[in-house]
A and B are shown apart, each in its own frame.
Chain A
Amino acid sequence: MSDQTKTVLRRTLIAFVALYIVFLVGPTAGFDVPAIAKQIQAGPIQLIQFLIVGISNGAILAIIALGYTMVYGIIELINFAHGDLYMWGVFSSLTILSLTGTLTTNNPTHLIWGIAVALVFAVVFCASVNVVIERLAYRHLRHSGRLAPLISAIGMSFTLENLGLIWAQQSWLVPSFGTTGGASQKDYPDLLSRLFQGLGYNVNLLASTGIGLRFTIKDLLVIVIAAVLMIGLRLFIQNTTLGKAMRATAQSHDAARMMGIDIDRVISATFLIGGGLAGAAGLMDGLYNGTAWWFMGFRVGLFAFTAAVLGGIGNITGAMAGGFIIGLMASFSDGYLNARWTEAWIFAVLVLILTLKPTGLFGEQVGEKA
């Protein structure tokens, strides 16, 4: 028997054993194949519904994943604080919506203006915060190995998270809607539905078809905004001078510096763009999912990071694709497996990808493999 056949046989055996174990213990974690088959048979239309929800949430994840992947591409740092920055995006937009009186109004003009102002503010705010974070916590550690900046990033994540908790506690900034204290989840009012109802549209775009599917105006907006942002970013990176400088810096700091590129400025610009995207994602997620919670950044941040890794970290197109894949997985897991286990499944995917294929699905990027 040749070596190649042996390898193939061994791999088949390992795959078989792994599959068997998944089938054996899977039902406990919601992975119950017969039950899932029955559920799909009973309501095939549901499958499309989960697909829609998955794509919309995936679009938000993809935008957050872009921030991770851009920063990793340029300074090889997992910016742990990015997920919490997105949480700040949720809270800063909620604060602006509250202070402008948009939360309580039914007047469409007021709603449109309020949301626009909140979007601009959240983007600008998160972008500047991200630049400050890089300045305070990462820049001085650029030459001290890999662990020091990573630990600093974790510290920054904790700091932002708990500042968010304090922020959530300020009832004059963030309305509490019946929930008290900073630690509880807060409602983020469904302003988009209110706006379109006020304008006389049906919120569900597929209501007239009568097939029981919901594709709301929110889904449409989230997907469209995400697509615009991603295409814009792609064009920016490909065509502008700053984009070129970013790609050059990502390849080699030293060579880029020799070509006259101001590395510090380029890195700041990367953090600026990533932060702005996180702010936009924060507003979109608030309006789409309707909650604001100080701890939301951790989970979503890790999901987005998984998406970035899945697509090949450092690869912008990959991060977008990864975001959609993780969004779909989370949605199907919520729907068909068990929402309580979704987190475990997603993190299992993260572990599997990192150990089996650290370059990701689309990665031409060289991974961290020894």
Chain B
Amino acid sequence: MLKNNFRLGILFGIIAGLMTFIFGGWSVGIIGVLYGVGLGLALSGRLKREAPLNMARQALPLAATASAVLLVMSLLQNYVIAPAIGQSSAGSDIVIPANLAGILGGLLFTLITAALHGLPDRQEQIGKLILLAAIIVAFPFVDTFTGLFWLAQVIFALIFVILGMGLNIVVGYAGLLDLGYAAFFAIGAYTTGILSSPLHHIFLNFWLVIWIAAGMAAIFGLILGTPTLPLRGDYLAIVTLGFGEIIPVVFRNLIDVTIEEPFSCWIVPGIQRLFGGTSTLSCIYIAQHLNLTAGEQGINPIGRPSLPVLGLFTNAHPIPWYFLIIAIILMSIFLINRLRESRLGRAWMAIREDELAASQMGIDPVRTKLLAFAMGATFSGFAGAFYAAYISGIFPDVFDFSASILILCTVILGGIGNIYGVIVGGLVLINADRLFLPALKDFLTGLLKSTILPALAHNPTLQAAVAENANPILYRYLLFGLTLIIMMAVRPEGLIPNAQRRMELHEADEAPNVTATASTRN
């Protein structure tokens, strides 16, 4: 038991240390705190429950091991790795405070989290919430102070967290596999773009537009949900995929919108001309050569939110954006949790388990499924509006199939049907994509330039091939694809699964469902 725990501590230390290899500099401070909380959480389940102080004492040797490992690796990074990738070692003015913050933070937070487990359930929960809130509030300021500038990418990850939570309603709660979810994201973003940009000279306030965007997304959720009602399983997935493909094409090409009333414009005149008459009707035009979405050029710039004290939100100061999206996420978590426990939420889960039985129990499947699509779409409407305002520009390529799959990936990685799992999945996957891979790329580029390529100088072909392919950004979607395959093979219920779903999946392992394979085919 104890030996296992030590192994855990060393593992956490090594993982955290490897992260400092990639990021370098001040990162050891933030990484230290984060791994401290993670280690504390991982530990608290394994240790015997005692008084808080005793819990802390139990965790101490382990936390110290992990911190020591981290310190060694961080110093190694600074004095061995950094020169090898062609960077100068950080001066002692950064190394000493950063490492101190990392070690002490890691130690302290491990102990606090472990100690919290010693408290009664209710107090433990409150304590964890306070700890989490403190980290969430402190993060942007620490980030700015240390000059790491992770915030802009973390905000992206948080946008995907909202998207994941919305998709989770459709896929996780109602059990309808939606492969075109990015379409609703696009609708939210384009609504914002059209209603507050110079393109049409409409400048509505962001605080109004975000609700309109959510409403539009919900309406399209209903519209696109209607044809899928009689379908199940993979056919439903394909229809949603079809919609998900049509919507970006539509936005890409709505640059010359001409809507003419067909009867007055050509059907009646055509018939008249056919019989030798002359046309008497005047054509009714609704729109002529209207550039609705600006096509490939995208809509740019888009209006941004402003608040009385903070003024207009800008790119230079990501902190207000960060708190705005945190607020949206908190609101979404609250709403989704209420929804899930409501009559509607229970109806979703009943439909997911067995549609026929559910409808026999008085649940209206049509209404339930449509509301699942509409509710799921609403949250992506929020995300779309925020995204459009944050980037201040939208382009159709962002919303294609790979975006839908990326969102699905976060849901599956985190755990289908569990909102907290989805949050973790989104944070892990999108940060890996936007923070870790670029940093890894810089790391590899530096390593190649300063160490590996000179060593390969005798073989120019190999040197060129290595230089060409050592770009992890190139492999990002490959990694997502592999994530899906591996998750399905190893842990289909996700990292933090929904308890009920895990039970179902493992039940299925023990007794393979014979009827699933022997259906009516010819």
Give A residues with C-beta under 8 Å from B: 20, 23-25, 27-29, 33-34, 73, 76-78, 136-137, 140-152, 154-163, 165-166, 169-172, 182, 250-255, 298, 302, 305, 309, 314, 338, 340-341, 343-344, 347-348, 350-351, 354-355, 358, 364-370
Q: Do the beta carbons of B253 and A152 come within 8 Å of each other? A: no
**18 A/B residue pairs, CB under 8 Å, sorted by A:** A25-B259, A76-B521, A78-B237, A137-B488, A147-B237, A148-B488, A158-B477, A159-B481, A162-B481, A166-B469, A172-B465, A251-B521, A344-B253, A347-B249, A354-B242, A355-B228, A355-B239, A370-B355
- Report Cα–Cα, A152/B241, bound state, in Å: 16
- Report Cα–Cα, A142/B518, bound state, in Å: 12
Q: Does B517 reach chain A (CB closer than 8 Å)?
A: yes
Stretch from B38-46, B374-382, B505-513 contacting the other chain = B505-513
Q: Which residues of A contact B32 (CB under 8 A)?
A: none
Q: Do the beta carbons of B235 and A34 come within 8 Å of each other? A: no
Using an 8 Å CB-CB cutoff, how does the interface string of B43-68 with A read, 1 for contact, 0 for none? 00000000000000000000000000
Q: Do the beta carbons of B231 and A155 come within 8 Å of each other? A: no
Assuming the A-B contacts A28-B257, A369-B230, are A152 and B485 also in contact, with contact meaning beta carbons closer than 8 angstroms in the complex? yes
Q: Which residues of A contact B270 (CB under 8 A)?
A: 34
Assuming the A-B contacts A169-B468, A351-B239, are A34 and B484 also in contact, with contact meaning beta carbons closer than 8 angstroms in the complex? no
Stretch from B260-268, B310-318, B418-426 contacting the other chain = B260-268
Q: Does B139 reach chain A (CB closer than 8 Å)?
A: no
Q: Which residues of A contact B517 (CB under 8 A)?
A: 142-143, 253-254
Q: Do the beta carbons of A344 and B485 come within 8 Å of each other? A: no
Q: Does B443 reach chain A (CB closer than 8 Å)?
A: no
Chain B residue nearest to A26 in the complex (CB): B262
Using an 8 Å CB-CB cutoff, how does the interface string of B130-162 with A read, 1 for contact, 0 for none? 000000000000000000000000000000000
Q: Contact partner of B227 among A24, A137, A148, A351, CB < 8 A? A: A351
Identify which of A77, A147, A165 gathers the most chain B CB atoms within 10 Å of its CB: A147
Q: Do the beta carbons of B516 and A143 come within 8 Å of each other? A: yes
A16 nearest CB across to chain B (Å): 12
Q: Do the beta carbons of A158 and B484 come within 8 Å of each other? A: yes
Chain B: interface residue count, which band?
A: 35 or more
Q: Which residues of B contact A33 (CB under 8 A)?
A: 266
Q: Do the beta carbons of A154 and B405 come within 8 Å of each other? A: yes
Q: Contact partner of A159 among B402, B474, B485, CB < 8 A? A: B485
Assuming the A-B contacts A27-B258, A159-B481, A366-B521, are A169 and B235 also in contact, with contact meaning beta carbons closer than 8 angstroms in the complex? no
Give B residues with C-beta under 8 Å from A: 177, 179, 227-228, 230-239, 241-243, 245-246, 249-250, 252-254, 256-262, 266-267, 270, 286, 355-356, 401-402, 405, 408, 412, 461, 465, 468-469, 474-478, 480-485, 488-489, 492, 505, 508-509, 512-514, 516-522
Q: Do the beta carbons of B238 and A155 come within 8 Å of each other? A: no
Q: Do the beta carbons of B518 and A370 come within 8 Å of each other? A: no
Q: Do the beta carbons of B477 and A161 come within 8 Å of each other? A: yes
Q: Do the beta carbons of A146 and B234 come within 8 Å of each other? A: yes
Q: Do the beta carbons of A28 and B177 come within 8 Å of each other? A: no
Q: Do the beta carbons of A136 and B485 come within 8 Å of each other? A: yes
B11 nearest CB across to chain A (Å): 27
Q: Do the beta carbons of B485 and A147 come within 8 Å of each other? A: no
- Report Cα–Cα, A73/B521, bound state, in Å: 8
Count contacts between A and B, CB distance < 8 Å: 203
Q: Contact partner of A23 among B262, B286, B468, CB < 8 A? A: B262
Identify which of A142, A314, A350 gathers the most chain B CB atoms within 10 Å of its CB: A350
Q: Could you tell me the dominant secondary structure of chain A's interface residues? A: helix
Assuming the A-B contacts A143-B508, A254-B518, are A158 and B239 also in contact, with contact meaning beta carbons closer than 8 angstroms in the complex? no
- Report Cα–Cα, A163/B489, bound state, in Å: 20
Q: Do the beta carbons of A154 and B484 come within 8 Å of each other? A: yes
B280 nearest CB across to chain A (Å): 17
Q: Which residues of A contact B286 (CB under 8 A)?
A: 24
B115 nearest CB across to chain A (Å): 40
Identify which of B231, B484, B521 gathers the most chain A CB atoms within 10 Å of its CB: B521
Q: Which residues of B contact A166 (CB under 8 A)?
A: 469, 474-475, 478
- Report Cα–Cα, A271/B509, bound state, in Å: 25
- Report Cα–Cα, A136/B490, bound state, in Å: 12
Q: Do the beta carbons of A151 and B488 come within 8 Å of each other? A: yes
Chain A residue nearest to B236 in the complex (CB): A368
- Report Cα–Cα, A154/B487, bound state, in Å: 12
Chain B residue nearest to A249 in the complex (CB): B521
- Report Cα–Cα, A156/B480, bound state, in Å: 10
Q: Which 10 A-B pairs have the closest CB atoms?
A: A155-B484, A158-B481, A162-B478, A159-B481, A143-B512, A23-B262, A368-B235, A155-B485, A355-B227, A152-B488
B357 nearest CB across to chain A (Å): 13
Q: Do the beta carbons of B521 and A252 come within 8 Å of each other? A: yes
Q: Which residues of A contact B519 (CB under 8 A)?
A: 76, 366
B330 nearest CB across to chain A (Å): 30
- Known A143-B512, A160-B481; further 12 A-B contacts with Cβ < 8 A: A76-B519, A136-B485, A143-B517, A151-B408, A154-B481, A155-B481, A155-B482, A166-B469, A166-B475, A347-B245, A358-B235, A370-B231
Q: Contact partner of B242 among A29, A152, A350, CB < 8 A? A: A350
- Report Cα–Cα, A157/B237, bound state, in Å: 15
Q: Do the beta carbons of B521 and A158 come within 8 Å of each other? A: no
